[in-house]
Structure 1
């Protein structure tokens, strides 16, 4: 059934009812149609599909229309104007239908409307917007209005419009791009307003005379996730009806609890991510006694609270949610928390709490569902035979002192869907019950412990699992068959062995991280079928053979009805370093257009580098190919990779010159502490499952040779910019353009055959930390501009033909091994070398001088030889007596030579003149 056909049939039914069964119609002549977002009518189709039919106009008595959550919108599909002609409507809900374009002002004709919901889907392909909401003033009976997500950023006087609707009780305008004028409206007609939601807009200030401060019956006020700077106005103390106040994620400073002295009805208070900047005990004592008895939820996360959690916290006996994470709290957790019998959520992670946490802390917390103590040096001293009275859903103990034994009390927590006991000091075998007890979890993180044991052959029974992080433990066995729902898997730094299964399941898998194991065999072609794969990291294993020939994408020349597997089109990172893989550069990557990081280093790949990367891989940022057998020249097309910021071709067989056009490498040509244009940077942001799971972890295994040593980089690799062409067969001069790559931190072209001088403008690379030009044939003086690179901490110019005085910049003199970095240059002088520049001629350019002398010598020899030869020819040609004497001399010399070597032949030679001249 489509929406259109459904609307037609409903319209027909409505007419029949009104004409033939009037006695059955309610006395008010009303009709109610509900196709809500929470009602799944079409099974897997996600609700009604198609378009809203104008046949709805036939429903003369329709007063309640709810189409929310159905697929009746789309790109270019606006809200139908004809809806404004259904005059009987009192309730209209078009929320989350993915409509596009502008909100029709015809909705202002619905004068009987009491409730209007136009909430738009944020972050979709469509953009529902309005440049004029003056039509709202005609809805004089309207009680609730929700236009959340509708772009209203161009409307300046939106407050003046909504205040003309005096009956409004609920106003929700979150994520609309709104701002408040700094010249506030002092009076308004919104005397009935109870709920005001302005979440995530562009409000940057709160004037104490703003219109909503005077609406004393407001029960819920949400100004969170704005840009509000300054003090919280004291006018908030006059809002005595407030029950819910959300001010989190702003820039408020000096928030004092005394401001809530009249807020005796306050039950929900969010101040997270602001600057309370106060001792917690003092802040909590500032609340009036009436607030302590009413408050249910208190969120003070990331507010710069200091001091200890006060023991008086037990007086807040009605609290159900207490969130104090990301502060500077110290000391032990008070036992009084165990007496807060209504507590459901206790979030204390990311503080400096210490001491012990025992069963007594949870003695009476029978309703506790969420417990987070992560990243505190607390010692969990719960006995193994303790049976908790609560059933946790979220248990986070990352980076606490929980070990060395596995926490056996978790066996009874079968309702957990999020478990994090990573880096908890556990040195133990994984218990047999672990995998079955947590078969319903969505997120499991037991990484960075010393948990050992053999992984089960299959984890398919974990039907809800979306992320499993088991890295840095001692698990053995094969890679198990994976749950169908799994999105992220990390079993890196373990002792898995054997080959990868030909089909390991998890068709929706986005990240597979298995580096630093003992996995052998070949990479199965099954990885080509993982169409949602974003990160594949199989580095530091024992894999052999060639990469699978994944299906190619659709060819433009193919017929339209030909179905071709698109391959890994979402692949963002492919990391295969330190294996024994072979073959050519992987051709299937032509069909991975969002590839950002490619690491094939330390393998046996061969052949020439492709020329198609700039066109097929436009977002490539990191290309690491060191220690392979690639040959040929560096493709000119590689300089067209505008996002390329790290290129490592070291230890290959690449020849030729560095291509011109380096200035096109824009990602290397900008110097900035933040690289907002880098497509890789967004990959390190938190993404999540249930807003808890951090993803994109592939940076953890990246190796970069920096400052003469191999280093592992974590998320800081986003900011690494470098060129490494070392240990190849490159020749020619160093291009002057290299000095335009201002963002370079690493430049290594050592162990090649480069000649010429070091570019004079190399000092423009102000962010350079490591420079290695050793083992080449460079000559001339060291540019003095090197002294302007204040960030330089590693320099190697050894084994060249450099000459002259070493620049005396203070930075160069402080480098470690300062003398060895000039060794092999016989004509350099000055500190730190022992050779003085005061010796005669020592500061001259010896390389050029010697070359000039050699050129003069060779030229003189050539001229002398040619001149002498021609003089002999001329004399013999024109002077007969000289010519005869010369040939007689030759004859005599010949006879003398023959007598010495062949005496018998000499007699014949002596007699020869007698036979004739």
Structure 2
């Protein structure tokens, strides 16, 4: 054996020994049981993380036992080193694909509860971390900064979690990161702050920060366009706008998906950076505020497959501008202006789209003409939406030949003719079907959604119906006359998101609800019995059960529905007190909610016309989003709490009429900057009207454009089965009863224009504060039926937008201010039954306001048109007062003298004429008791009325004397 051979042998021996040693070391570092494939320190870190999880409803960590952590669910180890390199504990929430996440505005139903343990830092080789959809934060708990220490991470998904506060800038240390998803629901309280740390993530290919408020990051365009490797950029719902001036060209050359939907973009400048990115396949600019002409530059984006511009105000949309879009499979233009015949528009699309186009939404685009019979040439269309246009004529039978079509909306057009089964070869349509329940539904299978609302159906709900709709995510049978009893449970509708059954004749109890249900409307039916103690649907955002016959109390389960935004139980037979919603609610425990999670998302609480009692609801202290509170026509008692302004800062409409509230009007109400309508009528409120109410900002500004209508609620109607974010419509679920112009009026869409104060029918005293004239946005002012004194404020004419003014049935004195004639919008005026005096002002429309007798009756010292009583000079007030006093004295004196003389004449006649005496007294004896009773009753009424008149006139006289 030569030297070279000896060296080779030594080298091989050394390598072998080294490999054996290394292998022994690795095994020593791993656990001693279960196959020995897990490093002990990393197993301990994972178990420490598990210890921080308080609830695991989906049992994601059930398999985390034993020594082999590499075999645990969600844990991935390296085959070479045994180190944990992946941790995937994503909650089982709706997820269409890797580029789209739908966040619940609350707790994901299967998400874990607890916290992220810093013990995970022991996983030094971690490359993939996905904790999305879990509830591992909480109020006051920001995203942990130690997440920025995983230097090996290439994938980080923390979407749809409940962190609070700012994003940690330490995330900028993850220089190897290629995928970052921080998307959240828009109501989330997390404020990202300065995100300039993004520039350090130069390898990013996927970035989703949808729902985060990025308004403070003014230079966001320069920031994201510096990430040259980006392929997916999703910034929907971030409050972003684009600069109007031309911007620098982008460094991004490989961007494929750009989502800027639901932002504040108001123009699309041809010089914007994304026009030059020819690789973009999906451009989403829907639900912005874009105005102006359709951009010609868009025609150069030849790679476009998805173009969503719906929900804007773009004009001049022509299909010829899209002649190069041969790859187009999704086109949304709803609510923009096409102003073209439908046949012309379809002919302008490139021929290649006849095989590529899957989704076409032209709703509310002002298209005209008829639906062309050759519409079936677009053979791969799955969704065709033509709602709210000016289409007319017959629905072509060729639609039934479109074998891929599953969605068709034709509502709100001028189409005529009838529907046959040939039209229903492959889709469901919303046209007139009644009065019988449509039998063609019975043969349908695997329906995703069904809308047969307002179809003239007056029939019983068939037994087979619920089996047909068991897989829908959207069901709408509203506004028919459908009878039948609801089943005891709807839990079998496992995919249902929206159920709209309102305005029918349905009976039974409220059933157990589907797990993922968000919107339920069964209003205006005949449901009866009590509400279940727990009825499921933990993610409900809208629960509308008004106008039924539901009895019993409101269960504390309502407190656990943290995503609930609208609760309408009005017009039922509910009684008892409202739940307190304490922290230890059993309902929260049932829903796997954090015990200290007290905040609720309620924006509208409507409970009027029930038999509810108790004090002002205390649980409202946890409802900082509340905009509309309607508790009228109930039996609530006690004083209004002083915490209203602090705890309900967004309150705009407060209706408490017809209750038993007492005490004074809290001065803290003036801190409610959004309060536009305050109705305390028909209570027992006493004290005076606080002058500080003149500082109510929303009533001063009266500008409706900056306020939202609480009766306008997001309403989910899916545009297509693959996009949960793109299908929210405005719907007026309810109307608000307002007493204006002496009559009850219902407001829906116009509620936003109603600004008013109604303190009528209480025990208020003192003067009307001069400061009330500062509320120049008022449209309704009603202080009637109180004990108010003093004069009408001299500057009341500043309330030029007031349409209804009622100060009747008080003790207001003095002259009517001449400025009243400046109230140009006034159409209803009532000043009756006060102590007003002097000449009635003239000018503008005052002489045309209704019947003068009804406006000024009960004010004996007023004169001048439109009354017949003349005025003679500046001293008219005093003269009238003195004259009236003299007339009154003579009247009472004459009445007394006449009574005495008449009585003596009768007495003398009966005394000296025996025949008259017998004829008179004999029949009267039979009526003696009844006459005596009648006389006593009449005398008592006359006496009390005289006393009231004397008191009132005395007060008026004192007021005039004081003024003189």
* TM-score normalised to structure 2 length: 0.69
Q: How has the CA–CA distance of structure 1 residues 692 and 630 changed in structure 2, closer, same or farther, with 3 Å as cutoff?
A: same
Residue matched to 2:476: 445
Q: Matched residue of 1:444: which SS?
A: strand
Residue matched to 2:923: none
For 1:174 and 1:686, how far apart are their aligned partners in 2?
23
Q: Is the 8 A contact 1:700 1:715 kept in 2?
A: no
Q: Is the 8 A contact 2:711 2:748 kept in 1?
A: no
Residue matched to 2:365: 303
Deviation by residue 1:654-685 (Cα, 9 ceiling, x = unmatched): 44332332224333333112342x7x738734
Residue matched to 1:127: 192
For 1:2 and 1:815, how far apart are their aligned partners in 2?
89
Q: Matched residue of 1:410: which SS?
A: helix
Q: Of 706, 711, 727, which aligns to 2:745?
A: 711
For 2:345 and 2:263, how far apart are their aligned partners in 1?
28
Residue matched to 2:786: 752
Q: Is the 8 A contact 2:505 2:526 kept in 1?
A: yes
For 1:161 and 1:622, how far apart are their aligned partners in 2?
42
Deviation by residue 1:231-278 (Cα, 9 ceiling, x = unmatched): 445454444444444444444432322223344344443334433332
For 1:757 and 1:786, how far apart are their aligned partners in 2?
13
Q: Of 708, 713, 721, which aligns to 1:684?
A: 713
Distance apart, 1:122 and its partner CA: 6.0
Deviation by residue 1:186-226 (Cα, 9 ceiling, x = unmatched): 7x776666555555666665565666656656555455555
Residue matched to 1:420: 451
Deviation by residue 1:105-128 (Cα, 9 ceiling, x = unmatched): 5555x5xx8x55455546442527
For 1:745 and 1:221, how far apart are their aligned partners in 2?
45
Q: Is the 8 A contact 1:103 1:128 kept in 2?
A: no
Q: Matched residue of 1:810: which SS?
A: coil
For 1:553 and 1:210, how far apart are their aligned partners in 2?
51
For 2:415 and 2:327, how far apart are their aligned partners in 1?
32
Q: Matched residue of 1:475: which SS?
A: strand
Deviation by residue 1:264-318 (Cα, 9 ceiling, x = unmatched): 3444433344333322222222234334344333333343323322233232223
For 2:92 and 2:580, how far apart are their aligned partners in 1?
38
CA-based RMSD of the aligned residues comes to: 4.8
Q: Is the 8 A contact 1:242 1:265 kept in 2?
A: yes
For 1:195 and 1:485, how far apart are their aligned partners in 2?
29
Q: Matched residue of 1:821: which SS?
A: helix
Residue matched to 1:495: 526
Q: How has the CA–CA distance of structure 1 residues 122 and 808 changed in structure 2, closer, same or farther, with 3 Å as cutoff?
A: same
Q: How has the CA–CA distance of structure 1 residues 768 and 277 changed in structure 2, closer, same or farther, with 3 Å as cutoff?
A: same
Q: How has the CA–CA distance of structure 1 residues 565 and 191 changed in structure 2, closer, same or farther, with 3 Å as cutoff?
A: closer
Q: Is the 8 A contact 2:198 2:223 kept in 1?
A: no
For 2:254 and 2:624, how far apart are their aligned partners in 1?
55
For 1:832 and 1:851, how far apart are their aligned partners in 2?
20
Q: Is the 8 A contact 2:681 2:760 kept in 1?
A: yes
1:833 corresponds to 2:860 = no
1:340 corresponds to 2:402 = yes
Distance apart, 1:750 and its partner CA: 1.7
Residue matched to 2:679: 648
For 2:672 and 2:232, how far apart are their aligned partners in 1?
49
Residue matched to 1:292: 354
Residue matched to 2:892: none
Q: Matched residue of 2:737: which SS?
A: strand
Task: Tell me which moved more, 813-822 or 497-506.
Answer: 497-506
Distance apart, 1:547 and its partner CA: 1.9
Q: How has the CA–CA distance of structure 1 residues 784 and 136 changed in structure 2, closer, same or farther, with 3 Å as cutoff?
A: same
Distance apart, 1:777 and its partner CA: 2.2
Residue matched to 1:274: 336
1:773 corresponds to 2:807 = yes
Q: Matched residue of 1:669: which SS?
A: helix
For 2:281 and 2:536, how far apart are their aligned partners in 1?
51
Q: How has the CA–CA distance of structure 1 residues 415 and 651 changed in structure 2, closer, same or farther, with 3 Å as cutoff?
A: same
Q: How has the CA–CA distance of structure 1 residues 549 and 734 changed in structure 2, closer, same or farther, with 3 Å as cutoff?
A: same
Q: Of 693, 697, 700, which aligns to 1:669?
A: 700
Q: How has the CA–CA distance of structure 1 residues 517 and 262 changed in structure 2, closer, same or farther, with 3 Å as cutoff?
A: closer
Q: Is the 8 A contact 1:300 1:323 kept in 2?
A: yes
Q: Is the 8 A contact 1:478 1:497 kept in 2?
A: yes
Distance apart, 1:797 and its partner CA: 1.2
Q: Matched residue of 2:845: which SS?
A: helix
1:359 corresponds to 2:407 = no
Q: Of 146, 168, 175, which aligns to 1:101?
A: 168
Residue matched to 1:783: 817
Q: How has the CA–CA distance of structure 1 residues 419 and 598 changed in structure 2, closer, same or farther, with 3 Å as cutoff?
A: same
For 2:675 and 2:460, how far apart are their aligned partners in 1?
45
Higher relative contact order (CA 8 A, sep 6+): 2
Deviation by residue 1:734-773 (Cα, 9 ceiling, x = unmatched): 1112212223222112222322211111112222121111
Q: Is the 8 A contact 1:774 1:797 kept in 2?
A: yes
For 1:92 and 1:281, how far apart are their aligned partners in 2?
48
Give the greater-gyration-radius structure (CA): 1
Distance apart, 1:359 and its partner CA: 1.8
Q: Is the 8 A contact 1:796 1:822 kept in 2?
A: yes
Q: Is the 8 A contact 1:528 1:567 kept in 2?
A: no
Q: Matched residue of 2:868: which SS?
A: coil
Q: Is the 8 A contact 2:306 2:328 kept in 1?
A: yes
Q: How has the CA–CA distance of structure 1 residues 709 and 250 changed in structure 2, closer, same or farther, with 3 Å as cutoff?
A: closer
Q: Is the 8 A contact 2:91 2:133 kept in 1?
A: no
1:405 corresponds to 2:439 = no
Q: How has the CA–CA distance of structure 1 residues 708 and 224 changed in structure 2, closer, same or farther, with 3 Å as cutoff?
A: closer
Q: Is the 8 A contact 1:213 1:239 kept in 2?
A: yes
For 2:223 and 2:630, how far apart are their aligned partners in 1?
58
Deviation by residue 1:703-759 (Cα, 9 ceiling, x = unmatched): 322211122333544543322222333332211122122232221122223222111
Distance apart, 1:156 and its partner CA: 4.5
For 1:325 and 1:146, how far apart are their aligned partners in 2?
35
Q: Is the 8 A contact 2:673 2:697 kept in 1?
A: yes
Q: Is the 8 A contact 1:118 1:147 kept in 2?
A: yes
For 1:305 and 1:3, how far apart are their aligned partners in 2?
68
Distance apart, 1:79 and its partner CA: 7.5
For 1:408 and 1:749, how far apart are their aligned partners in 2?
58
Deviation by residue 1:818-853 (Cα, 9 ceiling, x = unmatched): 45312232333333323344x467844557777999
* TM-score normalised to structure 1 length: 0.72
Q: How has the CA–CA distance of structure 1 residues 707 and 190 changed in structure 2, closer, same or farther, with 3 Å as cutoff?
A: closer
Q: Matched residue of 2:436: which SS?
A: coil
1:260 corresponds to 2:260 = no
For 2:262 and 2:621, how far apart are their aligned partners in 1?
40
Q: Is the 8 A contact 1:513 1:698 kept in 2?
A: no
For 2:262 and 2:433, how far apart are their aligned partners in 1?
39
Distance apart, 1:795 and its partner CA: 0.9
Q: How has the CA–CA distance of structure 1 residues 245 and 757 changed in structure 2, closer, same or farther, with 3 Å as cutoff?
A: closer
Residue matched to 2:30: none
Q: Is the 8 A contact 1:182 1:205 kept in 2?
A: no
User: Which sections of structure 1, spanning at least 5 residues, go unmatched?
Assistant: 16-22, 374-396, 556-562, 855-917
Name the count of aligned residue pairs: 781
For 2:488 and 2:218, how far apart are their aligned partners in 1?
60
Q: Is the 8 A contact 1:37 1:67 kept in 2?
A: yes
Q: Matched residue of 2:480: which SS?
A: coil
1:523 corresponds to 2:553 = yes
